Chains A and B, each alone.
Chain A
């Protein structure tokens, strides 16, 4: 680990004023410290932002909820308003990591956690995300690609985003409040995270020095919602594929509203717009849901070893929507 100086900011303005090239914001440390110890991140100045932003959850107007970026994951999942009104979000957070990590990790940090691609994490392997232009070891024939992206990847990067919380926030259309050297702005999800295109080194649309201060949850989607995560063991593992889903059905049995977001399939949490459009106004049936899934996954380009994710994503969309329509 590179030696670094440390400051603790008391407000977003203080944090931003402390930022400079080579600095990093520290939340719970559950991702940054991990990356620093791997040598992937090497800041020489750490700005601790755990007390720079709110760590509380407050009611906004119009049934909205405002969550400070400093709220710990476990507190977010445990909050009565989240449990009652945003079960998709509570469940997503509860399936993430372990109890210990959920106690430490902040909402802001969770959004910004970096991929767990094995080649990204190994500084002796070529990785365009770490070092633009150095190549992508995962793209070599014979690489270990069992958990790579099936949607939206580019020749320069096939990694996936690991956050469960971000998938739920994507389905909910949460707004991320950001403070930076040039003032404040809001970024609506899924717009926070980028697809790799030619710049896999840029995970998000944030500029250097910008700090997430809070997220705003719009009033909950109508109907029933849930989060389902499929992984290789029963707990404490990243998703192979996950799905945040909300479904509202009218008295006539037709779909009135549907929100879908997939995790584990792309460089960013994947809002399944095509599938959402494809079910609207149609009967809530397996046939409808299957057609919607096919529509969404038409663009899937799985790497060798990742074909199963297409099947899994399709099956999740269909079975979870069926479950929500019972």
Chain B
């Protein structure tokens, strides 16, 4: 059993965008606030702090998650990728490029979450709530993308372009993802 010394703060090590970060955290600190307030990574956004908007979406151990609901202390050892880490150092990730080219954002506040969510989503095989045949992995049609991205609210209403941008990355020549 892992006991964090029964105090209200804990030593936590996370790997953020490939870099090992060891910090002492208040147990109440979310991964989101750890990133934004302690590690200087303000790319991930706080929109609601209750898992209802998706602006805080990051990849935790490769899967998209709402970092506002993830306690840092419960993610000791986790591999976290944020929008700042999507590109591999030089240039932009294809999703980032597609978002710029297709004007898939306006105010930009939901955008990091949209990007991390899209990156996570593209790696998720399997059906969604709109998939007719559960037994086969579906084609990533616009309808599938609309549903899969519904955990990311955009008040500026950039959805039409967001889906277009994701489609160009998911199926650059058309066809299954």
Contacts and interface: CB of A to CB of B under 8 A. Distances in A.
Partners in one complex: yes
Interface of A: 1, 3-11, 14, 18, 26, 28-30, 33-34, 36-38, 46, 48, 50, 74, 77-78, 80, 83-84, 87, 90-91, 94-95, 97-101, 103-104, 234-236
Contacts of A30: 51, 66, 69
Contact of B150 (A3, A38, A50, A234): A234
Secondary structure class of chain B's binding surface, majority of residues: loop
B151 A9 contact: no
Interface of B: 1-4, 6-8, 10, 26-28, 30, 49-51, 54, 57, 63-66, 68-71, 73-74, 117, 120-121, 124-129, 131, 134-135, 147-148, 150-152
B150 to A, nearest CB: 4
B63 A103 contact: yes
25 contacts: A3-B8, A3-B28, A5-B6, A6-B4, A7-B3, A8-B1, A8-B74, A29-B74, A30-B51, A30-B66, A34-B51, A77-B126, A77-B127, A78-B125, A80-B135, A84-B134, A95-B129, A98-B66, A99-B117, A99-B150, A100-B51, A100-B64, A100-B117, A234-B150, A235-B147
A103 B127 contact: no
Given A7-B6, A94-B129, A234-B150, 19 more contacts: A1-B28, A3-B8, A3-B26, A5-B7, A5-B8, A29-B74, A30-B51, A33-B71, A34-B50, A34-B51, A36-B28, A37-B50, A77-B126, A91-B134, A98-B51, A99-B64, A99-B117, A99-B151, A101-B66
Nearest to A50: B74
Contacts, number: 130
A90 B127 contact: yes
A96 to B, nearest CB: 9
